[in-house]
């Protein structure tokens, strides 16, 4: 028996090719795409303007299947979080953040994350695998039509769109799963699917420089960079990827990207960590980084209050410190916002997307053992220490 093809895996061009392989004309692909992505249809007999012969072909060859929902929680502030099954003990999370004039969906591109930033609980889970196109776009497909169903809003272009903005800031580093991520982006932007503007789709990266350049050529959308440090020594410890692509290379890549980007600035995400990266000196270093060198990087800063978790050994900066830090950036003429924490009560806030997910790499267990050994043998256990002769 041949395995069924998941139509969520195809971008618009691939869907035309697939219909061609069934002996169908290109306009059938557009019809099919609208039924799937504008009406949320998953059964072919619902697609009434498709020829019955095509519906019969599809019924034996294809499916429309998003990842199954394991749990669905709504926060007191309206934030909604879904835990989604992607098979073999892996799960990912998608988070919807409603605001007065927009609805933002935060989606995942990997199960777990290999970047392992020190302040991110998702990274402590370890990396399991890349998501497929259908698993990435399936998060948007599921969320849009589930939100409509909950509110009693009809599917299709006449019904009010619930998700106006998408951010690839969930689990994983999108640029380390490049092809499936870009294929999903193309479907988000297509007028016969979700019709989102490039300005309303944001990809967040920890700084995979070659792939930032590639994205600028293949599918430029708004860019956010997880910066979190003002110098290389500090960033090496917080974002290990910095050892491969240091700040000077990352800033140059951001400037190159802006030649093709739909927005004329890069957003720098900066997680505020008490006593680690939140001093006045760090703020002044940031100003010098984006304004003072050979390159000027048009940017805005988004300061994120840290969501503490025990294994990180880190604490959230105090509110007065965050405000003082923001003040230095703003005095230098840099647009700076302080992100409101949303969905804390359901672990849906930034960096918390690992709560219910299986810890396949036993990171938690190993970190607990490390703490036990430190208590037994002293704080220097596991460190390389210099012994003077």
pLDDT band at 386 (very low <50, low <70, confident <90, very high): very low
Q: Is 237 exposed, middle or buried (0-12, 13-18, 19+ CB in 10 A)?
A: middle
Helices of type H across the chain: 12-21, 26-37, 52-61, 133-151, 178-189, 209-218, 232-238, 247-258, 280-287, 319-331, 363-377
How far the first Cα of the chain sits from its last, in Å, is 72
Question: Is 254 labeled as catalytic in the residue annotation?
Answer: no
pTM over 0.75: yes
pLDDT digits (tens, 9 = 90+) for 88-126: 888 889 999 998 889 999 999 998 777 767 666 665 566
Q: Are 178 and 214 in contact (CB under 8 A)?
A: yes
The answer to whether residue 56 scores a pLDDT higher than 90 is yes
Question: What is the C-alpha radius of gyration for the chain, rounded to an integer number of angstroms?
Answer: 22
Q: Which domains does the chain have, with CATH numbers?
A: 5-63 (1.10.150.530), 68-373 (3.20.20.70)
Give pLDDT, residue 1: 47
Question: Is 173 labeled as catalytic in the residue annotation?
Answer: no
Rounded Cα distance between 357 and 354, Å, is: 5
From the list 19, 106, 254, 350, the catalytic residue is: 350
Alpha-carbon 137 to chain mean position: 12
Q: Are 280 and 288 in contact (CB under 8 A)?
A: no
Polymer length of the chain = 389
Q: Are 238 and 117 in contact (CB under 8 A)?
A: yes
From the list 93, 135, 173, 269, the catalytic residue is: 93
pLDDT digits (tens, 9 = 90+) for 343-382: 555 454 444 444 444 444 444 554 555 566 556 666 554 4
CA dihedral 235, 283, 348, 366 (to 10 degrees): 30
Average pLDDT over residues 281-294: 91
CA angle at residue 73 from 313 to 109, to 5 degrees?
A: 65
What is the average pLDDT value for the chain, to the nearest integer?
Answer: 85
The answer to whether residue 29 scores a pLDDT higher than 60 is yes
pLDDT digits (tens, 9 = 90+) for 192-243: 999 999 999 999 999 999 999 999 999 999 999 999 999 999 999 888 899 9
pLDDT digits (tens, 9 = 90+) for 157-199: 888 889 999 999 888 899 999 999 999 999 999 999 999 999 9
Q: How far is CA 383 from CA 124, 370, 373, in A?
A: 19, 11, 12
pLDDT band at 306 (very low <50, low <70, confident <90, very high): confident
């Amino acid at each position: 028996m041949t395995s069924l093809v998941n139509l969520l895996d195809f971008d618009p061009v691939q869907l035309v090719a697939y219909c061609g392989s069934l002996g169908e004309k290109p306009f059938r692909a557009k019809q099919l795409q609208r039924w799937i992505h504008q009406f949320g249809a998953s059964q072919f007999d619902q697609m009434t303007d498709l020829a019955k012969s095509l519906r019969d072909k599809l019924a034996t060859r294809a499916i429309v299947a998003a990842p199954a929902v394991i749990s669905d929680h709504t926060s007191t502030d309206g934030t909604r979080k879904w835990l989604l099954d992607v098979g073999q003990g892996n799960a990912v999370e998608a988070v919807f953040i409603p605001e007065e004039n927009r609805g933002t969906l935060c989606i995942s591109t990997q199960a777990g994350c290999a970047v392992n930033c020190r302040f991110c609980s998702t990274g402590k889970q370890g990396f399991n695998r890349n998501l497929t196109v259908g698993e990435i776009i399936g998060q948007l497909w599921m969320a849009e039509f589930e939100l409509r169903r909950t509110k009693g809003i009809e599917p299709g272009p006449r019904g009010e769109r619930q998700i106006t903005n998408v951010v690839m800031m969930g689990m994983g580093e999108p640029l380390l799963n490049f092809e499936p991520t870009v294929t999903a982006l193309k479907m988000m932007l297509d007028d016969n699917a979700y019709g989102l503007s490039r300005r309303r789709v944001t990809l967040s990266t920890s700084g995979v420089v070659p792939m930032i350049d590639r994205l600028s050529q293949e599918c430029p959308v708004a860019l956010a960079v997880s910066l979190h440090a003002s110098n290389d020594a500090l960033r090496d410890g917080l974002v290990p990827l910095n050892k491969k692509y240091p700040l000077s290379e990352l800033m140059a890549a951001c400037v190159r990207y802006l030649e093709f980007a739909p927005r004329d600035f890069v957003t720098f995400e900066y997680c505020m960590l008490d006593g680690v990266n939140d001093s006045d000196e760090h703020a002044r270093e940031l100003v010098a980084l984006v304004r003072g060198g050979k390159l000027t990087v048009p940017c805005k800063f988004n300061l994120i209050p840290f969501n503490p978790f025990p294994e990180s050994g880190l604490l959230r900066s105090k509110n007065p410190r965050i405000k003082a830090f923001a003040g230095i950036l703003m005095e230098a003429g840099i647009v700076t916002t302080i992100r409101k924490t949303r969905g804390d009560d359901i672990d849906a806030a930034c960096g918390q997307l690992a709560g219910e997910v299986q810890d396949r790499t036993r990171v938690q267990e190993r970190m607990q053992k490390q703490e036990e050994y430190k208590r037994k043998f002293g704080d220097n256990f596991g460190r390389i220490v210099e012994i003077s002769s």
